[in-house]
Chains A and B, each alone.
Chain A
Amino acid sequence: MTVTSHAELISGFRPQLLKFARLQLQDDAAAEDAVQEAIEAALKGIERFAGRSALKTWLFTIVRHKVIDFLRERGRTVQVSSLERDEADMDEAFDALFRESEHWSPMSRPRPWGNPEEALEQQQFWQVFEICLEVLPARTARVFMMREFLGLETDEICTTLALSVGNCNVILHRARAGLRQCLSEGWFGGKAVSC
């Protein structure tokens, strides 16, 4: 591949990289910076890439590292108050899935997703997945992505964001419960079945 076609490929990935960085950082300027730095680094090492998917994986790896650096730096100054209301709304929606006994209400009892691995192959699934991530409250999404996209351990996330371990666990549970509900409705056509 020529250098020109590589540069074209890289700019083609830019929107995806930006979306990823924005979701994680909740900060457009920082996201632009992270993506720009990643692209510049990629252009410098361009000859090393045999193909498109290797290049893409590498770009995402660089962006991920930039994002982690930025989050670590910013850690303790993160604003968390503004979205507490959204988090309370999510908890209320989750509570509504249960009867007073705290067992599933028959209408909202989860049912198995048929062949979810197939979804991973479908582009539309990823659009739904991204929408479900975007509607999570900012802090909830950030903690979830630090855990599941960036692969950080819970205690590191807690330290970085100055949260207690209990609080981190609550946030991760909230994120997972919210995402599974969103994907049930948005993709897996989730109507409940009776036990």
Chain B
Amino acid sequence: MLTCKHTTRLLSEALDRPLGRRERLALRLHLVFCRGCRAFRQHIDFLRRASRAFTRHDDGAS
């Protein structure tokens, strides 16, 4: 069973490389039961979208 700390590392790495089958299964199992790690995933997924939008965002002056 993954710890929450380990889960945050896998969630981060999932944004940078394809996870292995065992990693995906362990992650899925942990996330089913852990609300905190689900929120962590939401946050770092949002960070990616925000970063992509960062250089495109308009400063409202137009």
- A residues near B (Cβ < 8 Å) are 12, 16, 20, 52-53, 56-57, 60, 64, 95, 98, 101-104, 109-113, 116-117, 119-120, 123, 126, 129, 144-145, 147-149, 153-154, 168-169, 172-173, 176-177, 179-180, 183-184, 195
The verdict on A12 contacting B61 (CB below 8 Å), with A101-B3, A104-B36 known, is yes
* Size category, B interface: 35 or more
Q: Contact between A113 and B42 (Cβ–Cβ < 8 Å)?
A: yes
Additional A-B contacts beyond A103-B34, A111-B36, A172-B15 (20; CB < 8 A): A16-B59, A20-B55, A98-B3, A102-B3, A102-B4, A109-B39, A110-B40, A111-B35, A113-B46, A116-B46, A116-B50, A123-B59, A144-B51, A148-B48, A148-B52, A168-B16, A169-B16, A176-B12, A177-B8, A180-B44
Cβ-defined contact, A195 with B35, below 8 A = yes
- Would you call A154 and B62 a contact (CB within 8 A)? no
Chain A interface secondary structure, helix, strand, loop or mixed?
Answer: helix
Chain A residues with CB below 8 A from B5, complex form: 95, 98, 102-103
Asked if B56 is at the interface (CB within 8 A of a chain A CB), the reply is: yes
**Considering the complex of A and B, which 7 residue pairs feature the smallest CB-CB distances, nearest first?**
A102-B3, A148-B51, A109-B36, A110-B39, A180-B43, A173-B12, A102-B5
Instruction: Name B4's contact: one of A98, A117, A179 (CB within 8 Å).
Output: A98
Q: Give every chain B residue within 8 A of A168 (Cβ-Cβ).
A: 16
Assuming the contacts A60-B55, A102-B4, A177-B8, asked whether A169 and B13 have C-beta atoms less than 8 A apart, the reply is yes
Q: A52 CA to B62 CA in the complex, in Å?
A: 7
Q: List 30 A-B contacts (CB under 8 A).
A: A16-B59, A52-B62, A60-B56, A64-B55, A101-B3, A102-B5, A104-B4, A104-B34, A109-B36, A109-B39, A110-B36, A112-B39, A112-B42, A120-B53, A120-B57, A126-B57, A147-B16, A148-B51, A153-B16, A154-B16, A154-B17, A169-B12, A169-B13, A172-B15, A176-B47, A179-B47, A180-B40, A180-B43, A184-B43, A195-B35
